[in-house]
Structure 1
């Protein structure tokens, strides 16, 4: 969970904020009611963002906002009143957003902005514009929202950066640029990237009314006419990113085993082939493991299917957490597969054995019974050109571990 600073002097507003923020499992709020308290909290903790009241008894003119921004912390401002002059002042300061204290939805909105800021840190955005000034405006706004931002001066440079950074999720491009303009760039990108893989937003100061249609028909997701204001830019970006995240969530859920939350066997093998190909090109190691739960059949026969399902859910959750940076899948009724790119056999075997020991110290309660957990595993780096060959070598290691008495992890060298 990420720490955020919350500064508010009104007891009623603070009560609402505590209730709304307690519903989030992504943040850990640290509260202050005065500017002095806020300074002390900032000295003691590291915050990813701040939700700050504009006017405090010991800081009536927004001094706390200025101080938070000076620390390089994204700031969402709470204000009791709103007018155009105040809006201009807040945006000029560099706040991420502002919220008027008008009802529960306002605080829910503020929480949504905080969540968005936290998620944005992992999202890479490419801004393409030949104008240094216009490009800087978009880049600064994106950095204000904590995006990881790359820049290009024309379409040719943009394509080069896309190839170097395949994890770019959003591209914002101007229309009129040298070498390759915006529409031509979109057309070239859509040969490889679908709309659900890469969001593209077109920009232009040109007066031609049909420009938005040109961009959309070429494959852009959206279009903005320059100059755009702070809020419009933020909303368009957020809505498009949320659309992409929704599609990714749907795709991920289809690839997940319903019972355990791990990936499906088919997803494991399809992704595995891609991982193997990449590893061969880079000359890096890839390890795989087959984990087989012990005494699972007896649990099924003695306690029933519901008890067995409960055990699988528990183990699946543990494996997803333990092997979080790798691909873990359910391979069969009592088997799990793990693919670990970057690990040699010694490190992979030690890692899997560490998980085995951790699981062995735990138990699952089923009714009045407490079931201990154990598994045997085979780990291999024998890549013989395919996932089938790699997993076949894991089976051989697993069989040796079971023949040696079980509750063991064997690798290629044993």
Structure 2
């Protein structure tokens, strides 16, 4: 089992969250109340999968806390007790997975779901099809941050070959504006190879044409994102579509 590090100075919150994760997900959780203690745990144990950290620690300010865990290559979720929009925006500019308010109703349930989603993502491959290298690399980097194995394709033909070659691909993020084969046509052809309950397709585009979304959906897409999209929206859409795939598999 992959280990989870919970760094927080609120004993009540850490007790509740640790028990919820260990009981519901059967994943081991270690607790630290300072950066120094967190560092000792990270050095003593192997197999760390995720860090859930607060921002108010005795030996680290807000920026130092996040920077410390990211510098060690750890997936990091920030759990804050105070809503501050400027702080939230500044923290989300760094490569963290999510920013969660711990004192809201349902925060424990959300964090348990988040941990479960990230743990399960390691067994779900994703495909990004986009002729723009920068856009493709950006989407792929986000999916890798969320734990997915990611394949990349620069056009529709290359994307279809990847679908046929890699049965583990369960999610495809597809741009509309591509030479040779647009995203809608790629989605239509993909559906001849994989049904909706096997691969979820999210279309993306900066085009404001109001007919584009229904065209994507009618040709087999599960969802659509308008460029530019925020990291939080991207994560929510991806996670909800993968959740639905798993739910369909369970029902079947």
Instruction: Quickly name the TM-score band, shorter chain normalised.
Output: over 0.9
CA contact (8 A) 2:25 2:116 kept: no
Aligned residue runs from structure 1 range 137-176, under 5 A = 137-176=138-177
Which protein has greater RCO, CA pairs closer than 8 Å, 6+ apart?
2
CA contact (8 A) 1:76 1:110 kept: no
CA distance in 2, matches of 1:103, 1:218: 39
- Mapped pair 1:32 → 2:39: no
The equivalent residue for 2:99 is 98
The equivalent residue for 1:206 is 207
Displacement after TM superposition at 1:90 (Å): 1.5
CA change 1:168–1:36 in 2 (3 A) is: same
Q: Secondary structure at the match of 1:177?
A: coil
- TM-score, L = length of structure 2: 0.95
The equivalent residue for 1:23 is 23
Q: Secondary structure at the match of 2:62?
A: coil
- TM-score, L = length of structure 1: 0.59
- Mapped pair 1:72 → 2:86: no
Q: Deviations over 1:229-249 (max 9, x none)?
A: 111111111110000001111
CA distance in 2, matches of 1:85, 1:97: 15
Displacement after TM superposition at 1:25 (Å): 3.3
**Larger radius of gyration between Structure 1 and Structure 2:** 1
Displacement after TM superposition at 1:29 (Å): 0.1
CA contact (8 A) 1:129 1:135 kept: yes
CA distance in 2, matches of 1:24, 1:52: 20
CA contact (8 A) 1:55 1:62 kept: no
Q: Deviations over 1:182-221 (max 9, x none)?
A: 0111111111211111111111011201110010011111
Q: Number of residues paired by the alignment?
A: 251
Pairwise CA RMSD of aligned residues? 1.3
Q: Deviations over 1:51-70 (max 9, x none)?
A: 11112011122423211111
The equivalent residue for 1:349 is none
The equivalent residue for 2:224 is 223
Q: Secondary structure at the match of 2:28?
A: strand
CA distance in 2, matches of 1:14, 1:188: 48
Q: Which runs of 5+ in 2 are unaligned?
A: none
Q: Secondary structure at the match of 2:25?
A: coil
CA contact (8 A) 1:26 1:115 kept: no
Displacement after TM superposition at 1:104 (Å): 5.4
CA distance in 2, matches of 1:128, 1:230: 18
